[in-house]
A and B are shown apart, each in its own frame.
Chain A
């Protein structure tokens, strides 16, 4: 499992009153959620991790190697990203070419790339859309296509910015299955999300950001057990906890299944 370390990382946007300031942080879990309110700095961290933005001070290392020392093609094999808005990263004439283009950045064998494109498009349920223009797809299909372009390259670290936004239920389940598989096969998956039910049920590790700083890093159970912290950073607990609380029970629960496990004596 790759390790990402942030040291004294600082970044400010020109003409914006926002400062990112992370003294020391280690991403080392196979599945981490980054949560926090809009404007907390979640997407900024992703842009720094992929080199889209350059920090003002400090450094990022992956397995001890400074991020900026990787050659572009090496970096793409290390770390891949899907943006919140798929239109920020789709520009080819067909769905298949979109995936092949992404592969061509790391591999020059066209036949291999074509075969791999077919494989990943099948995986995200877009096999029958291969020859369509990405802009004729629905928003959720475009989001799935961006996931396919990163899966194709198969980097060690995957960054997903709000991958579930606008997906329907069957697609959400499919993406969750893909995440589980990546996590089980030695990859590191880091996801920005607002969906606390999903964080509680699926993630091992959660990082909370507020005003450009990391305010918490630990398990979902520890996060959701700390009501004072949740309130301070403007996060809601998972729905199951809201319901338990209404029934006079203020313990920490991560899912209906977890509630059953804790309340039925086997």
Chain B
């Protein structure tokens, strides 16, 4: 198997210092890069810890006892942290906490990493304008970062993560403070992202089913299910306490099935199941 094009986690265990139980238990994954992977789980399921491992924040920044291996496209944060770190863009749960705190304006905040990388002023101003447009922040470029609303702050955190054009994007609940229209725009934007591996933790099951190539379900530190959204949501265990998407609920109520006797989970599949029945 071509390790250069895979995400591989083998027997990964993570335990924070001072904690009695492991936050991640024996995680095994072998999946292609370049996909959108939706990570779903309830509180304390280990999904945020998994994000930190995927970003290399554990063990490079937050210390923890870690065993097993993790490589993405043949690269591990343990081998060459600088190279790994420049290949990732990370959006954490508390967006305000990851801003530099040094920038006077949204535009300066966006330029921060590029200036550190020695990018030319010309390229910087083009990229700043471009990511601001993508994230709907063009009108906010001259504002102070701390004056933004919660949803705008999350969009700024995403913009700062993508401005360095990372190959891997890791986002932990990036839409939690956005209003429904903002969230809709974000998930639409996600479908336009190309040639990037995206890990996204979200409780927006309906949206994830529309955009994700693959869903991972976490429960009590274990990866209990992985596969296509259709496969995963047709085989939920009640123990995991994960809801089914609205499409699935509607189709189940109406008994609209796809070939293979499964229920649809995304809008296009719903149309197919509807047409097959009606």
A associates with B: yes
- Whether the Cβ atoms of A168 and B246 lie closer than 8 Å is no
Q: State in angstroms the CA–CA spacing of A174 and B241 once bound together.
A: 12
- Whether the Cβ atoms of A169 and B270 lie closer than 8 Å is no
- Whether the Cβ atoms of A171 and B43 lie closer than 8 Å is yes
Residues of chain A within 8 A of B93, CB atoms compared: 139
- A260 touching B254 in the complex, CB below 8 Å, given contacts A165-B177, A236-B184: yes
- Whether the Cβ atoms of B43 and A168 lie closer than 8 Å is yes
Residues of chain A within 8 A of B149, CB atoms compared: 38-39
Q: Is the interface of B mostly helix, strand, loop or mixed?
A: helix
Residues of chain B within 8 A of A197, CB atoms compared: 246
Query: How large, as a class, is the contact surface on chain B?
Result: 20 to 34
Does A247 have its Cβ within 8 Å of any Cβ on chain B? yes
Residues of chain A within 8 A of B151, CB atoms compared: 38
Q: State in angstroms the CA–CA spacing of A170 and B267 once bound together.
A: 25
Does A185 have its Cβ within 8 Å of any Cβ on chain B? no
Does B87 have its Cβ within 8 Å of any Cβ on chain A? no
B202 to chain A, nearest CB (A): 12
- A234 touching B243 in the complex, CB below 8 Å, given contacts A169-B203, A240-B250, A246-B271: no
Convert A12-48 into 0s and 1s, putting 1 for each residue whose CB lies closer than 8 angstroms to a CB of B.
Answer: 0000000000000000000000000111000000000
Residues of chain A within 8 A of B203, CB atoms compared: 168-169
- A259 touching B179 in the complex, CB below 8 Å, given contacts A38-B149, A169-B241, A171-B43: no
Chain A residue at minimal CB-CB distance from B177: A165
- Whether the Cβ atoms of B274 and A247 lie closer than 8 Å is yes
- Whether the Cβ atoms of A37 and B271 lie closer than 8 Å is no
Does B42 have its Cβ within 8 Å of any Cβ on chain A? yes
Residues of chain A within 8 A of B252, CB atoms compared: 256
- Whether the Cβ atoms of B180 and A236 lie closer than 8 Å is yes
A223 to chain B, nearest CB (A): 14
- A138 touching B249 in the complex, CB below 8 Å, given contacts A37-B179, A196-B180, A263-B254: no
A interface residues (Cβ-Cβ under 8 A, vs B): 37-39, 138-141, 165-166, 168-171, 194-197, 234-236, 239-240, 243, 246-247, 256-257, 259-260, 263-264
Inter-chain pairs besides A169-B243, A260-B254, 12 sampled, C-beta below 8 Å:
A38-B179, A138-B44, A165-B176, A168-B203, A170-B42, A236-B184, A239-B246, A240-B246, A246-B271, A256-B246, A256-B250, A256-B253
- What are 22 A-B contacts defined by CB distance under 8 Å? A37-B179, A37-B181, A138-B44, A166-B173, A166-B176, A169-B241, A195-B180, A197-B246, A234-B181, A235-B180, A236-B180, A236-B184, A239-B246, A240-B250, A243-B247, A246-B271, A247-B271, A256-B249, A256-B253, A257-B253, A259-B250, A259-B254
